[in-house]
Structure 1
Amino acid sequence: MTTFIEFINSHSKHVRNIVADMITQPGSSQVAGFVVDMLCTGMTDVANEFNVPTYVFFPSNAGFLGFKLYIQTLCDDHNEDIVKLSNSDSTISIPSFMNPVPTKVFPGVVQTPEGLDFILRSARKLREARSIIVNTFMELETHAIESLLEDNTIPPVYPVGPILNLESIAEKGSGNDDIITWLDSQPPSSVVVLCFGSMGSFDEVQVKEIAHGLERSGHHFVWSLRQTSIDQKTGAPSDCEDPRTVLPEGFLERTAGIGKVTGWLPQVALLAHCAVGGFVSHCGWNSLLESLWFGVPSATWPIYAEQQMNAFEMVVEHGLAVEIKLDYKKDFVNQEVDKVVVTAKEIECGVRRVMEDNKVRRKVKDMMAKSRAAVVDGGASYESVGSLILDFKRNIS
């Protein structure tokens, strides 16, 4: 983690030089502020050199933002042993969550002193910002956002989401046209999509459990299957060249009429398809926002980062997803310690419920409408963006 921070901060001199050149050019515009990603808060020091404020873009959710800031308060102001707490089997009340949060869904990064130091540094820098721009919307995270707005120790928060990249819906010729064509032949809301993000892959034992669970569920499916080896160019798992080497014998033949096993998938295009009725997800925040935008309920299978807390929020806080697992974690450094296997029975139950739970499905459809209303004229996020622009303008003399 320290190396990562040093790598980001090593770019400060380049940013400083670019901004200095920009403002000295004839007819140049005035710099109103820096907008930096939550992992680049070291750039706050550069903004200070130019005497302009920093705005932090927080691409995750308000609940997790509140968690980071609260953990820093517990550590710095109350001398709480966060590493010990994170490795315990208990619950804790966090202001940005309505329900007590199990420590088992804390991100793995806070379970070690080095990882905790990374989180604490990030939280302290967040407090130096003029404001924090969050990829969420009021109707989804009402409690979390209000808890942040009421805390006068935290910079103002602008919920401006959902911010989504929907361009891939119209993409053709990506190598997955046959999947879309197959979906075109399926009944509405009849297919479950399994997609675990850019880093989502499992060993052969787990792959076989997924296959058995899918087959037993009886539901039609599209499954993005990645191999555990890392592509040296992308740093992410590569597509599985021959799925037969890891799938149960005869699985592809038995499921030929009801399922598709493939590599990388255009996730947005699939979630937008009327045939898709459920989504087994790693619970990256962007993926969850996409699923809500298209009204597709999720079954949670978090893997790393803050995904366990995202899963907890969607299942327990809001009832907008069903659980396969809430506390699954993958150790990318030492995969030998990754011994937890999600059983075929758990997967079967999760798939059945995400496809058949009408209460969850109704709530997701309702949130779909609210997510779309938030970003149009008169919506809460639309108004929040307007307030943010006014904030920028106040910095220009």
Structure 2
Amino acid sequence: MRLISTKVLQEEMVIAKTIWNEAGMPLLQEGVHVTNRIIQRLQQLNVQYVYIDDKISKNIEVAEAIPPKIRNAAVNKIENSFKTLKRLKGTDITYCLEKSSKDFKAIINSLMDSIFDNEELLTVLSDAFIYDEYIYQHSLQVTIYTISIAHEMKYNAEEVRQIGIGAMLHDIGKMLIPQETLQKPGRLTNEEYDTMKMHTQYGFDMLRNLHTISLLSAHCAFQHHERLDGSGYPRGLVDFEIHPYAKIIAVADVFDAVTSNRVYRNKLLPSEGLAIINEGSGTLYDQMVVEAFNRVIAAYPNGTVLLLSNGSRGIVSKQNASNTMRPKLRIFEEHGKLVKATYELDLASSELDILNVEPDYLEEKGTVYMT
């Protein structure tokens, strides 16, 4: 399968991976032949990328760390709990969170089981799941990344569980932020931004007195926007003052934010998101956390077309766990022409550089596409 931009999606291309809606129902099934109506619908939903089957990507698989059934159940639980909280006040909020904590922990356990059993690198697949409200999907994605980082950093199971709960609830304070501020498509005013920043304090206040959730998890909600150099909020803490759990969630939070569609901008590719994280390593984000994240995330997911420094093009066929920035490729084009027989190239043992990621790549119909 191959990752392709919906901007260049064409009729008769074959969908390779099912796209799900928030109810856990397939919006677009694997194996469906694309029509103009499907293209228009995907673009209306702001789906930027889909996976298709074609000749150059035959037998290239994209593994999912979290099965769709577990993912959908988790997002639905987050949504139901958060929406209930939005209607409550005071002690009712505490009671609701205490009641929901058992379900949250069950979700974390399921995610931990899936991630611990998965030997593949994490692949960003947010477009494979269509959700109307960003915060619920974001909370789950941040949890998945956080658990993966913590596991890679050798935290024990109970510590990973605490970090996971903190990640799942890190944005819970946004339930007390006005919807018009959360969904504003343009730049926030200074006053609106100050209001938005209060979600960290609100989240901490919701969580810190719960008997069923660790105070350390509450600090994740409080500190996930703090930065090593003191430029973060709400308290402008510096490196040693920030809890290690919050440092992990900070990286996961920013990466998911920039690789997801938002009301004010389109998503970045995983390699672009990682570049932002790596640029801030040691100044904004903890270096050990960033290094661990680089070891667990696929910068160039399987099925991604890459342009190389010698002018050839290849599609990512496998990952290199020892060097996640240098995957294995199936070379299918040289000097602007399709090769007679594709061949494998391991970038980890090559001096060639990656010049560009090309989800907009197209070739002559009937040459590349499977119909």
TM-score band by shorter chain is under 0.3
Q: When the two structures are superposed, what TM-score results if normalisation uses the length of structure 2?
A: 0.27
Q: When the two structures are superposed, what TM-score results if normalisation uses the length of structure 1?
A: 0.26
